[in-house]
Amino acid sequence: MKTTFAALVAATITMAAPAMADLTVPNLSYRTGPYAANGIPYADGFNDYFTLLNERDGGIGGEKVQVPECETAYNTEKGVECYEATKGQAALAYNPLSTGITYQLIPKVTADKHVLYTPGYGRTSAANGKVFEWVFNYPANYWDGASVAIKYLLSQNGDDLKGKKIALVYHNSAYGKEPIRTLEELSKKHGFELSTIPVDHPGQEQKSQWLQIRRDKPDYVIMYGWGVMNQVAIQEAVNIKFPMENFIGIWWSGSENDVGPAGEGANGYKSISFHGVGSNFPVYADLQKYVFDAGKAAGPADELGTVLYSRGMYAAMIISEAIREAQTMAGHSAVTPEEVRDGFEHLNLTEERLTELGLPGFAQPIAATCEDHGGPGSAIMLQWDAVAKTWGPVSDWITADADVIDPLIAEDSAAFAAESGIAERCK
């Protein structure tokens, strides 16, 4: 009895996902836990774009794409398990949507030769392709985000932030700590006063942090939050009557789910984004027709066109374009992870290509090279209209301050290279 049970247990544990088609892009998502509100629309957008490609075009280059999903709950241990469970299926690219899991996976993907694509999150210095061969984080990273926010504030203040007080409210994790170095440099350069206020995981309780803000009266608050922390922070800002137009969130702190609970009070809240929003892009008509109307959508219909849904779709779009590039380069359609890495490195996403994809003006063009895995580093500023319940752009594309960020990236990636004994590539 005991042995049969043990055998059953062993059989069940080894049972992997069903047999896979040629192209596999695992979706390490989280639909449970304190980060689910943000994880669900992102994962749905990611899945739906690949469903669209399969339904409308028959996959990429004639190969269907399989997207096995694995629940990580934003937890690094489960993330490792998901990676190990899916890597045997010749996974072409990983997009775990978690900076903590990204840090875990960087050495692993380098050893196992899988692509790690972390748009707008992860380890910022992975933008340096000379050190991080298998990691890509274009179009923008955390440091770009911080610089874009400061540049926007400069433009609002006649290019002068001297004597202004800026507070950074951040998730007390690798993710939230990332921008501190950049903001410190920028505060030296522009002469503003920076204060940093950490919020511990999961961030449901922020009374003391906002009391501190109320006492210090900073001119601007920048937030690097995620999950339930965003909703709570925006609500607390409303409670202390902080002027919402002076409150700027990074792209992970600016979705409909974050501002929704604060209702009318959230009107005027700003957030950065590295892609356009709204459901006016032609691709959404296709998504409606081939995915939602066909009943193949991963989530409810009202997600279509929301910020995080679009961002998940953006990540899927980039991965599919990299696979397409890899197929062209390799000359066959069943590409391997190594070939897809080359596709990522030679990705040339132009305005014309975006228009062909039904996303005109949705994002900035990307021309990746061996050295440059970080992309253009530009973003737009959005503002929330609580009456119309829409995000609208209030700035043009703002490009990050490369004078400040490039040396920081060089320094951090050099430290990683020294720590891990990596020789620089691209010579």
Give the Cα separation of 391 and 184 in Å (integer). Answer: 29
Site membership for other proteins, residue 111 (CB under 8 A):
yes
- Taking CB under 8 A as the criterion, the residue among 23, 25, 37, 40 binding other proteins is 40
Q: Which is nearer to other proteins, 106 or 166 (CB)?
A: 106
Work out the angle at residue 366's Cα, subtended by the Cα atoms of residues 360 and 367, and round it to the nearest 5 degrees. Answer: 135
Site membership for other proteins, residue 232 (CB under 8 A):
no
Q: Which is nearer to other proteins, 47 or 271 (CB)?
A: 47
Site membership for other proteins, residue 44 (CB under 8 A):
no
Site membership for other proteins, residue 196 (CB under 8 A):
no
Q: Which is nearer to other proteins, 124 or 383 (CB)?
A: 124
Contact 198, 170 (CB under 8 A): yes
Binding mask 327-366 for other proteins (x = CB under 8 A): ----------------------------------------
| CB 241 to other proteins: min, Å | 30
**Total residues in contact with other proteins, by rule CB under 8 A:** 55
Site membership for other proteins, residue 295 (CB under 8 A):
no
Site membership for other proteins, residue 73 (CB under 8 A):
yes
| CB 9 to other proteins: min, Å | 6
Site membership for other proteins, residue 178 (CB under 8 A):
yes
| CB 64 to other proteins: min, Å | 17
Site membership for other proteins, residue 123 (CB under 8 A):
yes
SS (HEC) of the chain: CHHHHHHHHHHHHHCCCCCCCCEECCEEECCCCCCHHHHHHHHHHHHHHHHHHHHHHCCECCECEECCEEECCCCHHHHHHHHHHHHCCCECEECCCCHHHHHHHHHHHHHHCCEEECCCCCCHHHHECCCCCCEECCCCCHHHHHHHHHHHHHHHCCCCCCCCEEEEEEECCHHHHHHHHHHHHHHHHHCCEEEEEEECCCCCCCHHHHHHHHHHCCCEEEEECCCHHHHHHHHHHHHCCCCHHHEEECHHHCCHHHHHHHHHHHCCCEEEECCCCCCCCHHHHHHHHHHHCCCCCCCCHHHCCCHHHHHHHHHHHHHHHHHHHHHHHHCCCCCCHHHHHHHHHCCEECHHHHHHCCCCCCCCCEECCCCECCCCCEEEEEEEECCCCEEEECCCCEECCHHHHHHHHHHHHHHHHHHHCCCCCCC
| CB 72 to other proteins: min, Å | 9
Q: Which is nearer to other proteins, 72 or 327 (CB)?
A: 72
| CB 173 to other proteins: min, Å | 6
Q: Which is nearer to other proteins, 114 or 164 (CB)?
A: 114
Site membership for other proteins, residue 5 (CB under 8 A):
no
Site membership for other proteins, residue 81 (CB under 8 A):
yes
Binding mask 128-167 for other proteins (x = CB under 8 A): ----------------------------------------
* Binding segment (CB under 8 A) for other proteins, from list 72-80, 159-167, 301-309, 396-404: 72-80
- Taking CB under 8 A as the criterion, the residue among 20, 57, 64, 69 binding other proteins is 69
Give the Cα separation of 213 and 192 in Å (integer). Answer: 16
* Footprint on this chain of other proteins (rule: CB under 8 A): 9, 12-18, 29, 31-32, 36, 40, 69-71, 73, 75-77, 80-81, 84-85, 87-88, 99-100, 103-104, 106-108, 110-112, 123-125, 172-175, 177-178, 180-181, 198, 200-201, 412, 415, 419-421
